[in-house]
Amino acid sequence: MELANTSMRNQSLVLSYMDSAGKIAINRLADGFGMSKTQLAETAGLARETLYRGERSGAPRTQLRLREMLEIISRVTEWAGGKEQAMAWYRAQPLPAFGGRTPEALVKEGKAAAVRDYLDHMALGGFA
């Protein structure tokens, strides 16, 4: 039951940054974390221009990367103390299970699923 409740909370953060078409609203997301689009692109592992061009910011690959980032941040928001602290964790916390790489680095490498699995393992009482 606890994982189901956590999942619902995770989705609400993701949904809060979506527009009426179901896409991540770039400006809303950047503003929500106090970042420029350039900083957001760097954090998500995207080219700077990607978030400044409508057709590229709405592309499936771009949207997937932003959603993966948001899903991971949303999973740690509660225990990190808020979304800003969760973003700081995402960007800077070395994960021993991944050779000290940060969640940000892993998402940039296309390993968001591994980070989500790691967080699920930790939530169930596993060790790092």
Where exactly are the structural domains of the chain?
2-123
pLDDT > 90? residue 62: yes
Which among 54, 32, 59 is positioned nearest to 43, based on CA atoms? 32
| Gap between the Cα atoms of 18 and 11, Å rounded | 11
Chain segment 107-122, per-residue pLDDT in tens? 999 999 999 999 988 8
Chain segment 9-42, per-residue pLDDT in tens? 556 889 999 999 999 999 999 999 999 999 999 9
pLDDT of residue 79: 87
Contacts of 10 (CB under 8 A, 6+ apart): 71, 74, 75
pTM for this structure? 0.85
Which among 99, 101, 81 is positioned nearest to 91, based on CA atoms? 101
pLDDT > 60? residue 3: no
pLDDT of residue 93: 95
pLDDT of residue 1: 45
Chain segment 96-106, per-residue pLDDT in tens? 999 999 999 99
Chain segment 46-60, per-residue pLDDT in tens? 999 999 998 899 999
Q: Which of the four pLDDT bands, split at 50, 70 and 90, describes residue 125?
A: confident
Query: Is 85 buried (19+), middle (13-18) or exposed (0-12) by CB count in 10 A?
Result: middle
